[in-house]
Structure formats: C-alpha cells, structure tokens
Structure 1
Amino acid sequence: MSGYGYGYGQPNSQYGWGGAPPPRPPPPNTDQYGYQQFPPPQQQYNDGYRGHGQSYGPPPPPTTQQQFGHGAPEGYTFQYSNCTGRRKALLIGINYFGQSGELRGCINDVKNLSAYITENCGYRWEDMVVLTEEQQSERGQPTRENILRAMQWLVRDAQPNDALFFHYSGHGGSTKDLDGDEQDGNDEVIYPVDFQKAGHIVDDEIHHIMVKPLQPGVRLTAIFDSCHSGSALDLPYLYSTQGVLKEPNLAKEAGAGLLNAFSAYSQGDMGGIAKGIFGFAKKAMKGDAAHEKTKETKTSPADVIMLSGCKDNQTSADATIANQATGALSHALVSALKENPKQSYVQLLNSIRDILESKYSQKPQLSCSHPLDTNLLFIM
C-alpha cells in the first residue's frame, strides 16, 4: 500500500485507522457523533479544467439556477455545484470476513478510490471517514449503526458548491417495495458487516439520509459497487450511453406481453391470451405509476450524481485485475479517470462501460437527482 499506508493515510485514533506513518494527535472539535467538524479549506481547489482564461474540453457546470423540466414537479429549480467549497468523503468497503459469500476486493476498492480522490480531486484525509472491517477500532467497523451515523456526518452542514463523495463496495440485494416507488416492485439494499443481526439498509433510508437534506448547489457523488445497485440511491433521472434520459420501457414490456399472448393463441389457450395482455397492462401501469411517484418524491434541488456497478437486475463482479482483487466498477472508474480526467458525464459512462464490456456482462448506470446535461464536465 505504498503512497498512503495500510490505514488510508495518516493514522487517526479517532476513526481507528492504523498504519506505517508516525501517529499524530487526534483532531479537536469533534461533534456529538464523534466525527470532527472541519472548517472550509484555506484555499479553494482548482480542478485544472480551465487554463490561462481559456476553457477546453466539456464545459463546466453553469452557476445559475436551472429549471427542472422533463416531468419534474412544476415550479422547482435546481443548481449545479462547481465543487469549489468544502470537501468531505465517506468510503465503505466490506469483505465479510468468515461469512458466507465472503468477498475479496472491497477493501482494496476503498484504498484505491481514497488514494485517487486525495491525489487528484482535492479531498483531504482529515475530511474523510473510512469504514472497513480490518480496522481495530469499533467506530471504524462497517456496521449498520456506524454506516448510518457516518452518512449523517457526510451531509451535515453542507453548503452550496461543497463536494461530498460517497463510495460503497460490498454486497447488495433487493427486498419487496412497500411504498410503490419502484418500477420492478423491489427496493435495493446494501448489507452492513453485521446484517445478519442488524439487518440491511434500504435505498429509501439511504436517500432520506443523504439526499433529502441537501440544499441547491451541494454536490454528492455516490459510487455503488454492489449487486442490484442500478437505483440504490433512488434518483429519478437515469441516462443512457447516448446521454438521453431513460423513461419506463413500456414498448419492451408490450412486446413481452404480446409474445406471451401470441404463444397462448398458437396453442389455443384463450385464457392465456387474456392473461398475457392484461398482465402486461397491469405491469406497465404499475411501472409508470412508480416512475411518476419517484419523480414527485425523490427529485432534489441539490446536485446528486450516482454511478452504479450494474442494473437493478444484474450483479457486479468481484474480480482480479492486474493480480489484485478489486470490484470491476471501482477499477474501471479509476482507470477511466486516470486516462482522461476531463470527460463529460456521458463520456465517462461510456469509458467505464468500454473497459468492462469485454469481460463482464454488468452495465454500469448513471442517474441524477435532477435532469442532467450529460455533456457537461464531470467533476467531483
């Protein structure tokens, strides 16, 4: 782990990080949750996307308020973040040591992503919380309680143009949707290290903690390298590799319904015809209603972006790349940004997919809390 030590940077007894560099005193001014409250950095981070008064590459985000459009609630506006304010990061990696379904690359993902954002994106170790099960401190363990508390810390007191970064690498899954906002009828979940006793964390709760409190102009970049993670943050606006907003695919559903009806007809099953057609209609109406509810209840004036490892009905690979265990998405994201840090959102989505498509079937997804101009420069 050269460059930042085994404990993700300088050791910090407060979080239970340990490592090779010499220890330093624990930071002062901790809040009621035991996490430090940091003042804004003395110097604003210059992301290098502009030089000598000339802009190049994809354009930076606009600084004025934007209209929602695209069927979002009327009268609302949102604001992009230019990511020049305070930066905070939360990274969670869980290998589930000794448990069924043990993973190998999740802790490495956290090490790689934390190194990248500190070296290239202006994040500081002292403004970062890392939860991994290899830590000695109980506070550093990725338990359900610690994860929820750290999520609250991440978004607390966020101001316009702040940049928040969230990364989760571990198991993901699904459970029955109880409030009617999921097109497929299932909520997405993540699994803390103690999920067998404490339970999973549902996407509705994650959204409520990390997205709902954010003001216009606050940026949250969320990376979910886990299975069934396509809508793990419940963001309403999903984009294709062409940068086009996706809507519920009723045509595809219609084709499936009609195919079932045709099959029933060819077998003389009149009841099957009706079942196929009415089944499609019911499913299509339910999916459309869920999509509309998500837009009405989960649209946000903040600038929240999520990249997921796969679609809701797919799995994300725990892979070995260059002789290191790693999550396929986490590795592809860092590789794509190192190769070209000045990409638009749609270019980055395509770069990640290009890296993965030769070996993996998973399709990373890009979603947002507001209608997104995918040709803007990706910053975090």
Structure 2
Amino acid sequence: MAPFRQPKRFALLVGVDLYLSNSARKDKHGSTLSLGNLHGCVNDVEAIRELLRTEFQVDSPSILTSSPAGSRDTTDTEPRESPDRLPTFENIQREFGNVIKQANAGDFFFFHFSGHGGRLQPVQGLSPPDRSADPSLLTADFCRGKPAVRGWQLNQWLKMLDEKKVHVVAILDSCYSGGSWRSGRFRSPADWPIVPNLPVDEAAAQDAVAKPASRDGKLDKSWSINPEGFTLMAACGGREVAAEKTINGKPGGAFTYALVKHLKQNKRSNKLSTYRVIRDQIALDVTGQSPIVYGRDRLLFFGNIEPFSATPLVVDIRDGTVSLPIGKSHGVCLGSEFFSFPPPSGTGFSITQVNDFDCSARISAEAEHALRSDRSLVVPSRWSFGDQPLRVLVDSSFEIEFQTSLFRSLENRIASSIEITEMEETSGLDDSSLRVVQANSHIEIFGPKSWIGYRDPVRGLAITDQHIEERASRTAVALSHLARFEQVLSLKSLASDEPPPFKAETNSI
C-alpha cells in the first residue's frame, strides 16, 4: 500500500432560513416573485457541524447561512450574517473554488445544503439539452435578482474535485417539485412557474463552468447531478417535498434530523454506516418523502472504503505491529487490506504475516497513532485470495467501457490478482469460472456448480442499472461475494497439521 498520509477534511455547509427579496424577480406576467422563509435550515447546519466535529474530526468547516437578526417569528428583511458569509451564488462558488485549489488526492469533501429548491428556465447552450427546466438550489438573494446554483453547475464543481481524486459526498435537504408550501413546512415554493432568466443568470452560468453542461449526456440523476465517481444523498425524489419538523421545540429538516440521529446511534453501537444503510434507516423515520442515494452508495459514510465485512475488529498494537484476531481459519491471505473504523482517518495497512488464528502487519508511527485515535477498530477493505487470481469470463457483447469499469470496481474490493477475459460464446464452457452474461435488459452471473449448487444464473440478482459505472459496480459486488463464498467452502482444505487446541467429548445420558 502507499505510504500513510493523514488526509485533509473539507466541508461546506449551507443553510438558508431568511430569503431576501425586492422587485427584481418577476414571472412571465410581470408579478413579483418572493420566497417564504424557512425555520430549520440554519439548525440543520449547526447539527451537521457538530456531527462532523465530534464524529468525523472536521474542526473548521466553511459555513454560509442566512438567518433573521431576531427570533424566527420576526419579519426581519436583513440577515444577521455579514455579506461574505451569506449563502449567495458568489460566496458558494468562492468556497468551492477554495476547496478545489487546496484539496489533493485522498482528501475528503462534504457538502450539505438546506433551503428552498426550484425549477428555473434553462440557459441556452449551457443547460443540459432536452430539459424543460433546471433543478436549482435557491440562494438567499435569488429574489433580489442574483443567480441560483443550478444542479448541473453543482455537478461541474463536484466533478472537478472528483477528478482530483478527492472523496466527495453531497447531501441536499431540499426539493424542487413545486409541491404545496405553507408556513415554511416544505422546502419547495408553492406552485412556482418556471422562472425566466435575467442577464445575471446567464452570466453566472457562463462563468461557472469550464465547458458547456450540454456536453454531458448523462445528467439524468436527481438535481441534474451525475455522481458516478462520488456520492449524492437527497431528502426526497424529484416529485416529492422535503419537510421541516419540530423536535423538542427546535425546527429542522426531517431528513437531516434522521441522518444525524442514525449516524450517532450507529457510532455508539459500532455499526457500520454505509450510505445505503443510512438511507434505509432514514426512510423508516420520515413520512411523505423517500430519501435517495446515488453513486458510490456502498462506501462508509464520509469514508473511502467499501467494507468487505460488516463487523469491525479490535486490533492489538505493539511496537509498530498491528495484530488482528483472524487468520487462515477465517480465509485471511497475505495482502488483505484493512482500514480504520470509523472513517475518514484513512489509516490502512496490508497484512504481511498470517497464522492459523491471527494475522499482523507492520505500520508506521503515524499510522499507529491514528489507529489508537480510532479506538483500535478496523474493517476489511480489500480482500486477498492469495496466489489464485479471481478469473471472470465476460460476454463479448459487453462494451470495453463496461469491462474496464468492472475491473476497476473489482480492484476496489480485491487486493489479489484479477483476470477478466472476454468469451466468444456462452455454451460449452469449462465450468470452473464465474461468468458474466448480457441477457436482454439485465446482467446474469453464472458460477461453477460446485459453488452455486446449480447451473442456472445466480438467483436473486437484478442488475438492470442504465449507467455503465453502476452496472459494473453492482456486478463487482456480486462477484466479490461469490468469490469469498467459494473461499469459505475451500477452508476445509487448509486444515492445520498442528494438534487441535481442545477436544470435545459427548457422553450419553
């Protein structure tokens, strides 16, 4: 593995309670447009800031908020924050620019937005083609004639970080459905028309991107964001509304409240929190909205690993050596990689010695210090199958891009050798390899009968994603688990020649 380097953690948290207005924004009939204030967005920011500080070691996030100078029920028309700390397009773009300049490969970036969303008129030549509207994050001064952050613009900024190999997660507690809004309970303005553009909108769109978004034909995810290399969580689907709720007298986003609650509960119980697990937990808590997650949903929350196992292990650290209570009897091979839990310290190591019931690795002083700070808990991140390569045959009808993505996805999970070979026909093959076959609108996986128990496609798989990266990722997950299953079946051939540690006898009664 690469030498240990403590990654930096960046965060930008945006919350808009107070929406400023004058007569600058009008609909196509000339009527002035304004946005109702919200009550829980700044509270969301405070809750997320405290969560990042206590659970994820993010001490200095960038904060942009807009809140009334008095109580929440006042009719203040000016915010308490200084102009440079307001959630305006200019300030949000500036903060993204700072992170893009400072962040390096392996660092982490967390973006959270709480506020109104809306549907805006597309910008000719810049917005994705064939769209009737741009889903957008509405900034505090939008109704004073200033630009919003369009979803495809946010996508461009996030992609710039992803291309630098920064680990990115974006969380949006907002909505753009235009559903019923009253008393600030929902984060989408009521029955808004598609808002006509002002010259400032077109100028901001032109300035925000290095290339026209219309060149990206895949912007069909939530908020026009295509998170193939990173993770996007949103409070609800495109036709739903994101609600506010009051808990113990304190208003906040229903989605953000549930997110923070479950992350804290999982941390106390040492339960692994992947984005997919968190989404499912939140869905049980909120009503009237369906939380969604796109992109790398199997990563640990604000982490960079997809755990191969769901159980954290307590390790022993002495004199630069870390020892784990698992060994050959558990299928551990040389080269298996582990990372600290919880993320995102980025402390990882590769196993260099394996005994029957334990294994170990040499680590640097910096890594030792980081591991001790993480309560000496680790999880498997990339599994090794020893000297035997994982051999996969793929249908020749799969495009090269899929085969390349499949190899990358397997590399993210497997530390030992991988061989993906294209096959010309699916019939008459040696029944000794895993096989990936294109079948109409979905992918089927076949395995040796000695593993699977039958010759038909593996049951229970429904790999139907439209995007190549997601299809490859889901296929890689299934292949990894099948290979691990075969390894478990083969453990009996690795029985130790040493005397057993104990014997058990039974007596008849």
User: Structure 2 length normalisation: TM-score?
Assistant: 0.41
Cα offsets for 1:269-310 (capped at 9, x unmatched): xxxxxxxxxxxxxxxxxxxx9996338x97678x42111111
Distance in 2 (CA, whole Å) between partners of 1:111 and 1:147 is: 18
Distance in 1 (CA, whole Å) between partners of 2:5 and 2:47 is: 21
User: Aligned pair in 2 of structure 1 residues 96, 335: CA closer, same or farther (>3 Å)?
Assistant: same
- Counterpart check, 1:200 vs 2:125: no
Within-5 A mapping of 1:1-380? 84-96=6-18, 100-125=35-60, 128-134=61-67, 135-177=80-122, 181=128, 185-196=132-143, 197-215=145-163, 217-228=165-176, 293-294=218-219, 303-341=229-267, 342-356=272-286, 360-368=287-295, 372=296, 374-380=297-303
User: Aligned pair in 2 of structure 1 residues 333, 184: CA closer, same or farther (>3 Å)?
Assistant: farther
Shift of 1:89: 0.9
Distance in 1 (CA, whole Å) between partners of 2:217 and 2:5 is: 30
Secondary structure of the structure 2 residue equivalent to 1:188: strand
Distance in 1 (CA, whole Å) between partners of 2:276 and 2:162 is: 24
Distance in 2 (CA, whole Å) between partners of 1:312 and 1:172 is: 11
Cα offsets for 1:118-152 (capped at 9, x unmatched): 11101012xx2111124442211112211221122
What percentage of residue pairs aligned between the two structures are identical? 26
Query: Is the CA contact (8 Å cut-off) linking 2:128 and 2:152 kept in structure 1?
Result: no
Aligned partner of 1:313: which letter?
R
Aligned partner of 2:278: which letter?
L
Query: Is the CA contact (8 Å cut-off) linking 2:155 and 2:226 kept in structure 1?
Result: no
Secondary structure of the structure 1 residue equivalent to 2:98: helix
Secondary structure of the structure 2 residue equivalent to 1:117: helix
Query: Is the CA contact (8 Å cut-off) linking 1:158 and 1:214 kept in structure 2?
Result: no
Shift of 1:346: 1.6
Distance in 2 (CA, whole Å) between partners of 1:200 and 1:379 is: 27
Shift of 1:328: 0.9
Shift of 1:211: 2.0
Distance in 1 (CA, whole Å) between partners of 2:169 and 2:230 is: 6
Secondary structure of the structure 2 residue equivalent to 1:214: helix
Aligned partner of 1:167: which letter?
H
Query: Is the CA contact (8 Å cut-off) linking 1:344 and 1:376 kept in structure 2?
Result: yes
Aligned partner of 1:130: which letter?
I
Distance in 2 (CA, whole Å) between partners of 1:366 and 1:185 is: 24
Aligned partner of 2:274: which letter?
S
Distance in 1 (CA, whole Å) between partners of 2:16 and 2:149 is: 14
Aligned partner of 1:344: which letter?
T
Query: Is the CA contact (8 Å cut-off) linking 1:155 and 1:164 kept in structure 2?
Result: no
Query: Is the CA contact (8 Å cut-off) linking 1:173 and 1:228 kept in structure 2?
Result: yes
Distance in 2 (CA, whole Å) between partners of 1:298 and 1:316 is: 18
**Equivalent residue for 1:270?**
none
Shift of 1:98: 6.8
Query: Is the CA contact (8 Å cut-off) linking 2:109 and 2:169 kept in structure 1?
Result: yes
Distance in 2 (CA, whole Å) between partners of 1:292 and 1:378 is: 28
Distance in 2 (CA, whole Å) between partners of 1:103 and 1:203 is: 21
Distance in 2 (CA, whole Å) between partners of 1:91 and 1:133 is: 12
Distance in 2 (CA, whole Å) between partners of 1:130 and 1:123 is: 12
Distance in 2 (CA, whole Å) between partners of 1:136 and 1:111 is: 15
Q: What do you get for the CA RMSD once the two structures are aligned?
A: 3.3
Query: Is the CA contact (8 Å cut-off) linking 1:183 and 1:290 kept in structure 2?
Result: no
User: Aligned pair in 2 of structure 1 residues 291, 218: CA closer, same or farther (>3 Å)?
Assistant: closer
Distance in 2 (CA, whole Å) between partners of 1:320 and 1:299 is: 32
Query: Is the CA contact (8 Å cut-off) linking 2:108 and 2:302 kept in structure 1?
Result: no
Shift of 1:184: 6.8
Q: Which runs of 5+ in 2 are unaligned?
A: 22-34, 68-79, 178-213, 304-509
**Equivalent residue for 1:74?**
none
User: Aligned pair in 2 of structure 1 residues 194, 318: CA closer, same or farther (>3 Å)?
Assistant: same
Shift of 1:176: 4.4
Shift of 1:173: 1.2
Query: Is the CA contact (8 Å cut-off) linking 2:19 and 2:36 kept in structure 1?
Result: no
Query: Is the CA contact (8 Å cut-off) linking 1:158 and 1:215 kept in structure 2?
Result: no
Aligned partner of 2:151: which letter?
D
Distance in 1 (CA, whole Å) between partners of 2:249 and 2:82 is: 29
Query: Is the CA contact (8 Å cut-off) linking 1:160 and 1:218 kept in structure 2?
Result: yes
User: Aligned pair in 2 of structure 1 residues 325, 182: CA closer, same or farther (>3 Å)?
Assistant: farther
Distance in 2 (CA, whole Å) between partners of 1:290 and 1:185 is: 17
Aligned partner of 2:231: which letter?
I
Secondary structure of the structure 1 residue equivalent to 2:170: strand
Shift of 1:156: 2.3
Secondary structure of the structure 2 residue equivalent to 1:195: coil
